[in-house]
Amino acid sequence: MPKKGRKSKGAVPPPKCKAILLCDQTIIEAGTGKISVIGIFEGFAVPQTPGVIRPFTVYLHLTDGIADHEYEISVELHDLKNDNVIARATGPKIRWGDRLSRLNLLIPVPPLKVEHAGVYDLVVLANKQEIDRQQFQVVIPAKPETKEEGEGND
């Protein structure tokens, strides 16, 4: 029987997620390696449902990984209404540097079919263990009302 307060051997604590950004595009500068995050958003507009959301990139800023351990970082999109995972995108396996290092990771997500408007979760996983999540919405924009011909011409 394991003693209280002790962690089980072999379980590597996951890194911490300090930022999750959904964005249209990212640019990595060749000389400096700096990342430009372009078009940050919190949801998608689709003309109807079922519909398809456009491709996007998930920018993650991770800290506090265990030195010299390998992590597989992935994201899942959860349909909260139907309680299921509708997509999964996996980034590259990474080997963490020292404990104080930070990591910026970009994970592309392809176009994706959604069944309904509403709230969804983007869940960040490290070695299949949840480390953070962020909600986003899918909306159907209201169509502008048009005047019928002859209306308003009294």
Q: pLDDT tens, 40-99? A: 999 999 999 999 999 999 999 999 999 999 999 999 999 999 999 999 999 889 999 888
Conformation bin of residue 21: beta by default, left when phi > 0, alpha when psi is -120 to 50: beta
Domains belonging to the chain, first-starting first, are: 16-139 (2.60.40.10)
CB atoms within 10 A of CB 37: 17
The percent of residues above 90 in pLDDT, for the chain, comes to 78
Exposure pattern of 106-143 as b/e (b: 16+ CB <10 Å)?
A: bbebeebebeebeebebbbbbbeeebbebebebeeeee
**Does the pLDDT value for residue 38 go beyond 70?**
yes
Token pair, residue 95, equals 């080997």
Pair type for strands 129-139 and 43-45: parallel
- pTM, entire model: 0.83
* pLDDT reported for residue 3: 46
Mean pLDDT over each residue of the chain, to the nearest integer: 89
Residue type, 141: P
Q: What is the pLDDT of residues 20-36, one digit of tens each?
A: 999 999 999 999 999 99
Q: What is the pLDDT of residues 73-85, one digit of tens each?
A: 999 999 999 999 9
pLDDT confidence of 5, banded at 50, 70, 90? very low
pLDDT confidence of 100, banded at 50, 70, 90? confident
Q: How far apart are CA 65 and CA 99, in angstroms?
A: 6
Q: Can the peptide bond before residue 108 be classed as cis, meaning omega within 30 degrees of 0?
A: no
Q: How far apart are CA 83 and CA 50, in angstroms?
A: 17
* pLDDT reported for residue 6: 45
Q: Are 121 and 86 in contact (CB under 8 A)?
A: no
